[in-house]
Amino acid sequence: MTAVIDALFTEFGKKATERWLTLAWLLGLSFVAALWCAALLGHAHALDVAMLIQRTRSHVNRAGTDPVTVVVVAAVVVMAALAAAGLARLLVAIVERLWLLEWRGRRLTWPGRRLALLDRRVQAEYHGLRVALVWPRLWSILEDHKRLPVQNARAGLDNAAITVSWGVLYALLGCAWWPGLLLGAGLAFGGWRHARRYAHAYAILVESLVDVHQGELAKALGVDLPHGVITADEAGQINARLSKGSSDHPERPGPAI
């Protein structure tokens, strides 16, 4: 079962990269602003806006208007924002793995269980056909407009992982500034809800495409379907052909989309 989920998520991080970069600046700068509030206010005066303005103005006055100082401060802010964005990006991989975490043969989270159910349903319907093997091949023959809903669902999963990652960072900030804990909890909860929603949508879409395009898949692989659908004989042929004769193919499937 691990192989199936890994196959579906192999390029999860790669697909998120472009979307991540478009938001990195804004999210990073927002987090730097929250860090500034934490540094100036702490827990005792966490929501004291007047104090924040006063102390910020005091720091600005001390820094002065020297061009070199302004450039240095701007550079520090930019580097801090990029560092925060980079740290959150690294956390995405951890979040993904936590969603797919397995204990004694059972996925511990709802998104992981829903994606594992996808493999069981395809195997049950098509006599042992392995979705981890057939999905990359099926994806390669689909038209672009049929790929789009799947891509949107994957994008939703990507964004959910990103949201949870920022939630973790804000929750850690809550150790020094309690509003950060509230922000982090809200982001993590929202990201989790979206992960459930999009994992379900993704699984349904993949299963539906296998149902609807099994004939095209079999034809592309040179396997005849005398009954019009994949039966036990055809499932065995497809699995054997795609595994290239390797006995351990369930553990090392090809890449997903």
87-120 residue pLDDT tens:
998 998 899 889 988 888 888 999 999 999 999 9
**Which regions of the chain does DSSP assign to beta strands (E)?**
102-103, 106-107
CB 191, CB 168: distance < 8 Å = no
> Looking at residue 26, what is its pLDDT?
85
Sorting pLDDT into bands at 50, 70 and 90, what band is 124? very high
φ/ψ bin of 13: left (φ > 0), alpha (ψ from -120 to 50), beta (otherwise): alpha
pLDDT digits (tens, 9 = 90+) for 139-196: 999 999 999 999 999 989 988 999 999 999 999 999 999 999 999 999 999 999 999 9
pLDDT at 181: 97
Q: What is the predicted pLDDT for the residue at 11?
A: 47
Name the percent of the chain lying above pLDDT 70.
86
Q: What is the pTM of this model?
A: 0.83
102 forms beta bridges with 107
Total residue count of the chain as it appears in this document: 257
CA distance 77 to 136: 43
For residue 66, the surrounding DSSP H or E stretch is: none
What was the pLDDT predicted at 60? 86
Q: What percent of the chain has pLDDT over 90?
A: 67
The residue type found at 176 is A
- Say if residue 10's pLDDT is above 70: no
Render pLDDT for 224-245 as a digit per residue (tens, 0 to 9). Answer: 999 999 999 999 999 999 988 6
The per-type count for the chain, helices as H runs and strands as E runs, is 9, 2
Tokens of 87: 């740290």
Average pLDDT estimate for 37-46:
95
Specify whether the backbone of 223 is left (phi greater than 0), alpha (psi in -120 to 50) or beta: beta
Has residue 20 got a pLDDT over 60?
no
- Please tell me the predicted confidence (pLDDT) of residue 249: 47
The larger pLDDT score, comparing residue 8 to residue 80, is at: 80
Residue whose C-alpha is closest to residue 89's, from 25, 32, 34: 25
**What is the band of 251 on the pLDDT scale with cuts at 50, 70, 90?**
very low
- List, in order, residues 6 or more apart from 217 with CB less than 8 Å away: 134, 137, 138, 141, 210, 238
Of the candidates 12, 251, 32, 225, the residue with the CA atom closest to the CA atom of residue 132: 251
φ and ψ at 98, to 5 degrees? Answer: -65, -40
d(C-alpha 171, C-alpha 165), whole Å: 10
The pLDDT value recorded for residue 68 is 84
Q: According to the model, what pLDDT value does residue 245 have?
A: 65
Question: According to the model, what pLDDT value does residue 103 have?
Answer: 87
In angstroms, the CA 170 to CA 189 distance is 13
pLDDT at position 64 over 90:
no
